[in-house]
Amino acid sequence: MHLIPFVQLFPEQAMAETRTITIRGHPLIPDDEYALVEAYCVDPHCDCQRMMLNVLARWEAYEGYLAAISFGFDQKDDLSGPFLDPLNPQSQYAEVFLDMVTTILKNDPAYVDRLKAHYHRVKQAVDDPTHPIHRVLARLGVESEP
């Protein structure tokens, strides 16, 4: 399963719809703007109903993401999430970001619906061999044969 950032697949839509968190005066997190960078599975044979929200600081220079939060849409699945993805490195702030993202996902069903719509858009694109997304995936070295 290859998780590719939504911004690499649909840059205009991602730039318009990426959720950000602005933090000022938090006792545990440095002041900054943090993007929740979405990543989706591009395996056309997989319908995992999952995605990743990677927390990225706008101004501070950090090495990589501050948190990699797995989120599954199927609440009956053991991996429904949100939870810190054990396969990715996590920063010292990861638990705090997980709490924030969990609250957002619980309280904003429109945002969850948007994430699901993005998931379905990616899956429809990888299922269509003529879709331009396949050129992007080829540039990234990801096989995506439907």
pLDDT at 140: 87
pLDDT at 110: 96
Q: Distance between CA 137 and CA 21 in Å, rounded?
A: 29
Q: Which domain holds residue 124?
A: 3-140
Q: Mind giving me the DSSP string for 22-35?
A: EESS-SSS-SEEEE
**Are the CB atoms for 71 and 94 separated by under 8 Å?**
no
- For range 1-27, the mean pLDDT: 93
144 — pLDDT class (breaks 50, 70, 90): low
Query: 34 lies in a domain?
Result: yes
pLDDT tens by residue, 16-53: 999 999 999 999 999 999 999 999 999 988 999 999 99
pLDDT tens by residue, 112-143: 999 999 999 999 999 999 999 999 999 988 87
Query: 17 lies in a domain?
Result: yes
Query: 14 lies in a domain?
Result: yes
Q: Distance between CA 20 and CA 111 in Å, rounded?
A: 12
Phi, psi of 32 (to 5 degrees): 180, 175
Q: What are the beta bridge partners of residue 51?
A: 40, 71
Query: 146 lies in a domain?
Result: no
CA dihedral 122, 110, 112, 73 (to 10 degrees): -90
61 — pLDDT class (breaks 50, 70, 90): confident
**Are the CB atoms for 31 and 24 separated by under 8 Å?**
yes
76 — pLDDT class (breaks 50, 70, 90): confident
Give me the number of domains the chain comprises. 1
Query: 38 lies in a domain?
Result: yes
